[in-house]
Amino acid sequence: DIQMTQSPSFLSASVGDRVTITCRASQNIINHLNWYQHQPGKAPRLLIYVASGLQSGVPSRFSGSGSGTDFTLTITNLQPEDFATYSCQQGYTTPWTFGQGTKVEIK
């Protein structure tokens, strides 16, 4: 199975900050990498697909980059509603696997 490792696991930030989360795959997954946001009691939400595609309805302050094994999710101008957990997921091969999640909390 492909292992997905995110860093950091926890991040403390302020409104207006720029935040970067990284995700590393244990093997080359080309660009088959997606990012999700999830908050307690809510359905998870797709933010970024195939590494850099912005899902419809997602604010442009979210962006993704990377290829091969190393990927990045960046949130610029962090907003109060962005405090959540973010997870990457590889869709290169089954079983699809997720990173362990990065919790973004208010400083």
Partner 1 sequence: EVQLVESGGSLVQPGGSLRLSCEASGFTFSSHSINWVRQAPGKGLEWVSYISANGNIMFYGDSVKGRFTISRDNAKNSVYLQMNSLRAEDTAVYYCARVNNIAIDFWGQGTLVTVSS
Residues in contact with partner 1 by the rule CB under 8 A: 1, 32, 34, 36, 38, 41-46, 49-50, 55, 87, 89, 91-92, 94-101
Minimum CB–partner distance for residue 76 and partner 1 (Å): 22
Secondary structure (3-state) at 81: helix
Angstrom CA distances, 80 to 17, 64, 106, stand at 11, 20, 8
Q: Whose Cβ is closer to partner 1: residue 55's or residue 76's?
A: 55
Q: What does the DSSP assignment read for 58-85?
A: --TTEEEEEETTEEEEEESS--GGG-SE
Minimum CB–partner distance for residue 31 and partner 1 (Å): 9
Q: Whose Cβ is closer to partner 1: residue 17's or residue 96's?
A: 96
Q: Whose Cβ is closer to partner 1: residue 36's or residue 71's?
A: 36
Residues 6 or more apart whose CB falls under 8 angstroms from that of 32 comprise 50, 51, 90, 91, 92
Q: Whose Cβ is closer to partner 1: residue 5's or residue 17's?
A: 5
